Amino acid sequence: MNITLNGAPHAVPREASITTLVTQITGRTIAANGQATDGQKLGVAIARNSEVVPRSQWSATALADGDTIELVTAVQGG
């Protein structure tokens, strides 16, 4: 299935959820509550078709062919 991720074409498996995508991009395992299972902060926010998806809904939010996803990471510094 094809989506647009941060303005670029990106393939994901059929029936992928936002959790699937975040795991694919970050290489980290994500629990059903949207938190990384390693206990470290993810520093990631997701918008699907211009609507922010709360972490608690990542695993229940299925991606659809043609979705536009913006994945934003927090950067610390000055």
pLDDT in tens, 45-57: 999 999 999 999 9
List domains and CATH numbers for the chain.
2-73 (3.10.20.30)
Residue 76 has pLDDT above 80, yes or no: no
d(CA 32, CA 28): 13
pLDDT in tens, 28-50: 999 999 999 999 988 999 999 99
Closest CA to 34 of 15, 51, 59: 59
